[in-house]
Amino acid sequence: MSFSQTQSVIKKIIREIGQKCAAQGHTVSETLVAFVVKAVVLDPRNDFTVDQVLTKKDVQDLIQLCVSRLLDTTNPSLSTIKMQVYFDLNYANRAELLREQQSVLEGRLAPLVREITDTHPRGQAEMEDVYQKIVGYVLLRSGLGSPTDIEVVREVTAALQSVFPQTEMITFISLSKKNKEQQLKHLAMLVTGIRLYNKECGKGGSSIDDLPALLNEAIPSATHTIDESLNTCHVLAHQYTALLESMQEDQHKYLQLHSLQLKEALFNVRQYEAFLCILLSDAITSAQEVEKMTAQFATVMEQLKNTVQNKASVDTREVFPFFVALSNLWSSFQDEMLLLNFLTNMTISLQQFSEIQSQLFPEEVLTSLLEGVTVKTDEERIGETMGTRVNVSDFQNQEWLFPETTVNFDQLQIQYHGFCAHAIGVKGITLPGNPAIGVLKHKEKCYVFSSKEAAYAFAQDPDKFIQLTIGKAQEHTELIQLLQLQHQFEYLAPYAQTRTADKGLMKPTTRYDSSTQTDTHLLPPTLVKSYEWNEWELRRKAIKLANLRRKLTHAVQTNLSHLRRENCTQVYLPKDVSTQTKRDNSSNVPRPQVFLQGLRGGSSPAVHMIKVDLTRAVDET
C-alpha cells in the first residue's frame, strides 16, 4: 500500500469515527479522533500491530473501539487526552503569541495602508481625504480609543497636525511605497507618545485606559487563581498516590475501588498540574516584565517633562525619541494585557477537563477511603530521602551525577518529567524524584528516583525498566506527553507499508528536510584566458602565427612625422608687481573776512565808510 493510499484510509477511518460520534450527539475534532486512534492501536490489550496491514474486520473493530472510548464520559484517560489535545492546539508561548497578534494587526491594517500608499491625489479634496485616512490608520494602530468617538478623532488629528501638517502631504506623496509605510508607522508612534504625554499632563487622553494599574491589579488575581487550582491538584495527587500505594500493600482492603481508574485519575491530575505550572510560569514572567516596564515608563515620562518644561517650542530631535519610547512601552503594556487574557482563558478552559475528578471520587468518598492512610506530600517524600544517596563505588559501569560535583546541575534534562523512573515502570504511579539521591546518566539521558532502593534496582538493568515504562505508556497513551516520551514513539505510525501482499512487512520510510551550504569558490580563480576549446579557432591562430614569421617591420620618419613628438617648454610664470608714482597732498589758506561800515549813510549827507579786514595771517593758520 502506497503512502497516499494509506493516508486516504486513515482519513476515511477518522471521518467515519467522527460521523458515528456525531450521530450519538457528541461532536469531536479530527485531531482528537486521530489521537484516540493512535491510543487504541498502541494499546497492546487491543491486539493491533502497528506494522501490519489492517483487514476490514480490524478496521471495523478499531472504529468501534474508538467510538466507545470517545463516548465514555466517565473515563479519566479520555479527559486527559482531550486536555492534551486542547493545550497543544491552543497554547502558544510569549514569542509565538505576540508574533501572531502582530501578524493579525498587520493584516487588519493592510487594506487601509494600501489605500494610503497607492493613492496619488491631485486636488485639495483628495489630499484631505488621504489625510483623514492617515488619521484613521494612526488611531487603529495605536489602539487607544474608538474610531467612532469624535473626541478621540479630534485629539488624534490635533496630535498628528503638530508633527505632520497637511502642507507636508505633497512630500509624503512623492515617497516610495516602502518609505510611506515606514513613515506611517513612525507617525503612529509619535502621535501615541504625544497623547500619552498629554494624558500625563491632564490635557487629554480621557479614553486611554491606565494599563499599568490594570495589569498590577489583574496579574496577582490571575496568579492567585492558578495557585488555587495548583493546590487542589497537589492535594488530589497526594491522595490518589497514597491510595494506590495502600492498594498495592493490601489489595483486599479496597475491593470497591478500581485501581486502573484511580491511576488514570492520577495521570489526569498530574497532567493538569503540569499545564498549570506552565501557565503560572508565564504569569510570573509577565509580572516581572510589567514591573520593569512600569519603571521604564515613569523614567521616560519624567525625562520628557524635564525636556519640555512648559517651553513654547522644543527641538524635535530632543522630544521625538521620547515619544517613540513611550509608544513602544505602551505597546508592550498592551501585549502583556493580551498575554494575561490568554492565560486567564487557558486556565478557565482547562478546568473542564478536571471536573471528572469530582464525579468519580467525590470528597466524601475520598475521605472515607483515606481513613487510616497516611497521605504524604511531594515535599515530605523528598524530605524523607534527603539524607540518603547512592554509593558510586557500588557501580562500576554507571555514571552518577550529584549537585556538588556537577556544573549546572539544576539545568539537567531529567527524563519522565522529573518522576521516579523505577516507580513508573514497576508500580505505574508517578512519584516525585529526588535528585539529591543521585542522578543516573544512562545513554546520555538522566533519571531520578524516589528512594535509594529504587535507584539501585533501576541501575542494575536500566534498559529493562525503560521498556517497562514504554509498555505503561502504550497502555495509557496520555503518559506519552506527560512523561515526554515522544522520542520513544517516533518510529511508530498509524499505518503500515508493505512490499508485497504476501511478503514481509516494512516500516514507513522516515523523511526529513536537510540542507547543506558550501562556499562557491574555495580556491582563487585559475581561468586561462588564452584557452580555446574550438579547434578551428586554434587553427586560425596557428595560421596567423605562421604568417607572422614571414613578415618584416619597417619604420620611416618624414618631415611631418617628427612634429608629432611630445615637446615641453618651461617658462617663468608672470608675477604681480606694482609701482606708486603719484602722491596726494593738500594745503589750507585763510579765509578772507572783510567788513565795510557806513554804506547805508546816516543823518549827515556825507558818507563815511569804514573798512575792517579781519583776515588772519597765513602763518597763524
Same domain for 36 and 147, yes or no, is no
Rounded CA separation 461/467 (Å): 10
Length of the chain: 621
In angstroms, rounded to a whole number, what is the distance separating the alpha carbons of residues 24 and 412?
A: 48
Is there a single domain that holds both residue 218 and residue 361? yes
Tens digits of per-residue pLDDT, 249-297?
776 666 566 778 888 899 999 999 999 999 999 999 999 999 999 999 9
- Total domains in the chain come to 4
| Integer Cα distance of 239 and 52 in angstroms | 42
SS3 399: strand
**Domain match, 405 and 330 both:** no
CA–CA distance, 142 with 193 (Å, rounded to integer): 10
**Statement to judge: residues 162 and 242 lie in one domain:** no
Sign of the CA dihedral 497, 500, 506, 512? negative
Q: Is residue 358 part of a domain?
A: yes
- Whose cell is 488619521? That residue is 135
488, 523, 558 — which closes off a domain?
488
What are the per-10-residue average pLDDT scores of the chain (621 residues)? Answer: 66 86 85 85 77 76 86 86 90 90 91 89 87 91 88 90 89 89 92 90 83 92 93 92 84 67 90 94 94 94 85 78 92 93 93 86 85 89 89 87 88 90 90 92 91 92 91 88 81 36 38 69 75 88 81 66 64 77 76 82 72 82 64
d(CA 155, CA 70): 56
**Amino acid 255: pLDDT:** 57
Q: Domain span at residue 471?
A: 378-488
Pair 237, 320 in one domain: yes
In a domain, 537, yes or no: no
Residue 226 is assigned to a structural domain of this protein: yes
Phi-psi region of 464 (alpha: psi -120 to 50; beta: other; left: phi over 0): alpha
Whether 259 is covered by a domain: the verdict is yes
Q: At what angle do helices 211-249 and 259-308 cross, to 10 degrees?
A: 160
Q: Is residue 365 domain-shared with residue 444, that is, in the same domain?
A: no
Domain annotation covers residue 103: no
The C-alpha cell of 98 is what?
A: 505576540
Number of DSSP helices (H) and strands (E) in the chain, helices first: 20, 7
Output the pLDDT for position 556: 65
Sort residue 385 into left (φ over 0), alpha (ψ -120 to 50) or beta.
alpha
Picking from 325, 348, 370, the residue at the C-terminal end of a domain is 370
Q: Do residues 311 and 391 share a domain? A: no
Domain match, 171 and 218 both: no
C-alpha cell at 146: 474608538
Q: Residue with C-alpha cell 476515511? A: 12
**In a shared domain, residues 337 and 220:** yes
> Cell numbers at residue 164, please?
505632520
Report d(CA 262, CA 241) in Å as an integer: 9
Residue 569 covered by a domain: no
Considering 39, 71, 103, which residue would you say is the last residue of a domain? 71
C-alpha closest to that of 268 among 448, 419, 77, 423: 77
Q: How many angstroms from the chain centroid is the CA of residue 389?
A: 42
Pair (218, 310) in one structural domain: yes
Let me know whether 216 and 365 are in one domain: yes
Shared domain check, 475 and 415: yes
Report if residue 245 sits inside a domain.
yes
The answer to whether residue 169 sits within a structural domain is yes
Residue type, 300: V
Stated pTM of the model: 0.73
